[in-house]
Amino acid sequence: MPGFRRWGKSRFQKNPESSFKLLAAVLIITLYLIIKEFSSPPIHVPNSYNVGADIQYKAWQNGTEHADTEKATAVRDAMKYTFWKYRQSAWGYDDVRPVSGEGANSRNGWGAFIVDSSTTLALMGLYDELALCVQHIIAIDFTKTEDLVDPFETTIRYLGGLVSLVDLADAGLVPENIINAEARGLILQQAVTLANSLGPAYDTPTGMPYPRVNFNTSEGVPDPPSVYIEHPERPRYDNPVIGPARTGSSILEARTLTRLTGDPIYAKNATMAWAPMVWNKWITPWKGMVDAPIDIVTGQPVGRQRHWDSGHDSYYEYLVKMTLLSPPADPYMKDYKSRFLDAATSLRTHLASRSAPAPSHTMQHLFIGRQDAQWFLNKQSHLACFAPGTLLLASKHYLEPDLHTFALALLEACHHTYTSTPSKIGPEAWSWVPKFGYDDPIYLPSTNRQKKEWETSGFWSTDAAYKGRPEYLESLFYAWRITGEQRYRDWAWEAFQALETHCKAPFGYAGLSDVYRPNGPGAGWVDEQESYWASETLKYAYLVFAAKEVASLDRWVFSTEGHLFRMIR
């Protein structure tokens, strides 16, 4: 079990008799912990909950906790538009291309949009639409696919969606005529089938998953050559390697599936998958943070990248969320908590970076950079704007007021990237001149455009695209529900209106090639709409304006794909 990884061998070697006693004691304790974790019967608590957590703001005044119906309806209308355009032109494909209306498959062709959007439809009460999804979901053959299967994407989008749908039904949030007992059973069976088909991913010496699974042969396999064609700069290693997010973002889905089925294997495999990071043996210079990428055969890092941004993000997110999802008595929760708090401290000490004032912009903003070996990279991506939300959640759950202040400062910086562009949508990635510590930063504005952006806003875009991403709205949702401050609702409304203005296309919501150049309708649209647009971006926007009881953070834990699971505490 993972806990063993922290104990050195030496203490077993001093005296054979005492080593034997120690070993016996260790075995008994381990057995006890295993039995304790997994012996409880499957927990079904329809229409009620055990005790939840105290996360949401409670001192609401003047009716601010009520829904802002007009704005919530506007977001719901955007979801309806998204759904029906997909339904009419690409039903059954993974996604619709929002400009041309073509169907596109990049998630094994099982209809990723349908599964991913279903939990948003349920929360919005769009039941006619949800009924169509349920019909499709119970008919998918999850054992067959043309392509290799990516365990990470498949777990967060498909498995998470299925398991969440069962939880929503069990909580009484879906009418009986949309998901009755039989349909519930079939959806859960689909989740089991899919999870079992992904099983071979975990057949590695460490339990860290293979990058892909071949469903024809039921074998885990390395990254396909296409990955190296897309990323020619990527080094080749002896064994398959994996990043923290890809191996550390299945425990919420798996733990919930274990609760729903009573089968411990899902939680066990997910625990092993992130164990080399949680209980790592190697020395990391910064407490709580892991170096990556990691060799799945040895469990050792083969690179020295260390950050909370793309590819690492949801490992840290799942550490704190797991301690909310699980009963506190579950083994390892203390370890997850201390690991998270250490990583948050390291983020704050080593990666948070205040921007130096620029000629026409004297305000400073707190961005987050990355570390690669000895280099600090003064570059943040939109994905890292998940961090404020996750840190706010942790600050409330662990009663850490410093994290609260830190998180709101990071959120202000993400807000600044949105309000600084002509479209009022933030770019995919940006850089700044650090105020402290770096006389010679890695990135400086070089083109005229970059210099101009830097002079007027204190940062410059390094990738000016928008890809339908949710992280900013996600953090605004946490900020609104945790602080109750109106400004976060206002910011969310501004962002939503900008998306409505610039991204709405004939068959859905398009990406933008350049958030600084929204040149008239349709100019610069990117013909892609990833399923997270429906499962996250629109869901979080809606929840900001919904009543505070809808998907309360006191009762539900959101996955990194925006699917929500009940806390059973």
Identify residues 146-185 at the interface with ligand NAG (CB under 6 A).
146-148
Min CB(275)–ligand NAG separation in Å: 12
The b-or-e profile of 390-412 (16+ CB within 10 A means b, else e) is bbbbbbbbeebeebbebbbbbbe
Nearer to ligand NAG (CB atom), residue 62 or residue 447: 62
Active site residue 530: no
Identify residues 108-147 at the interface with ligand NAG (CB under 6 A).
146-147
Q: Applying CB under 6 A, which part among 94-102, 202-210, 417-425, 538-546 lies near ligand NAG?
A: 202-210
Single out the residue of 73, 100, 180, 196 in contact with ligand NAG (rule: CB under 6 A): 196
CA distance 206 to 210: 10
Min CB(32)–ligand NAG separation in Å: 22
CA distance 240 to 221: 8
Structure tokens at 546: 């919904």
- By Cβ distance, which residue is nearest to ligand NAG? 199
**Sequential DSSP letters for 499-562:** HHHHHEETTEE-EES-TT---STTTTEES---THIIIIIHHHHHHHHS-TTTT-TTTEEE-TTS
Min CB(297)–ligand NAG separation in Å: 14
What lies within 8 Å, CB to CB, of 555 at 6+ separation is 49, 52, 566, 567
Bridge partners (DSSP) of residue 366 are 354
C-alpha distance across the termini of the chain, in Å = 23
Min CB(155)–ligand NAG separation in Å: 10
Nearer to ligand NAG (CB atom), residue 156 or residue 358: 156
68 binds ligand NAG (CB under 6 A): no
Min CB(162)–ligand NAG separation in Å: 14
195 binds ligand NAG (CB under 6 A): yes
Min CB(510)–ligand NAG separation in Å: 31
Query: Quick check: 24 and 527 in contact, CB under 8 A?
Result: no
Helices and strands (H and E) in the chain: how many: 20, 20
417 binds ligand NAG (CB under 6 A): no
What lies within 8 Å, CB to CB, of 418 at 6+ separation is 424, 425, 426, 472, 491, 494, 495, 498
What lies within 8 Å, CB to CB, of 313 at 6+ separation is 245, 383, 384, 386, 387, 560
Give the distance, in angstroms, between the CA of residue 416 and the centroid of all CA atoms in the same chain. 22
Sheet holding 460-463, edge to edge: 379-381, 429-431, 460-463
Nearer to ligand NAG (CB atom), residue 200 or residue 248: 200
CA distance 9 to 246: 30
Active site residue 471: yes
Q: Applying CB under 6 A, which part among 17-25, 134-142, 200-208, 461-469 lies near ligand NAG?
A: 200-208
Catalytic residue among 428, 474, 514, 528: 428
52 binds ligand NAG (CB under 6 A): no
Nearer to ligand NAG (CB atom), residue 214 or residue 513: 214
CA distance 11 to 19: 8
DSSP reduced 3-state for 40: coil
Identify residues 259-298 at the interface with ligand NAG (CB under 6 A).
265-266, 269
61 binds ligand NAG (CB under 6 A): yes
Active site residue 313: yes
Nearer to ligand NAG (CB atom), residue 18 or residue 216: 216
Q: What is the dihedral of CA 389, 156, 134, 536, to 10 degrees?
A: 30
Phi, psi of 509 (to 5 degrees): -120, 120
Kindly state the number of chain residues that form the binding site for ligand NAG, as judged by CB under 6 A: 17
Min CB(45)–ligand NAG separation in Å: 24
155 labelled as ligand-binding? no
Single out the residue of 73, 193, 214, 513 in contact with ligand NAG (rule: CB under 6 A): 214
Nearer to ligand NAG (CB atom), residue 265 or residue 356: 265
Nearer to ligand NAG (CB atom), residue 308 or residue 488: 488
Single out the residue of 216, 360, 497, 501 in contact with ligand NAG (rule: CB under 6 A): 216
Active site residue 549: no
> Could you tell me which of 344, 355, 347 has the C-alpha nearest to residue 378?
355
Residue 213 host element (H or E): strand 212-214
Catalytic residue among 68, 102, 153, 527: 153
Min CB(392)–ligand NAG separation in Å: 19
Feature table: binding site for Ca(2+): 560
Contact residues for ligand NAG, defined by CB under 6 A: 61-62, 146-148, 195-196, 199-200, 202-203, 207, 214, 216, 265-266, 269
Feature table: binding site: 560
The catalytic site residues sit at 153, 313, 428, 471
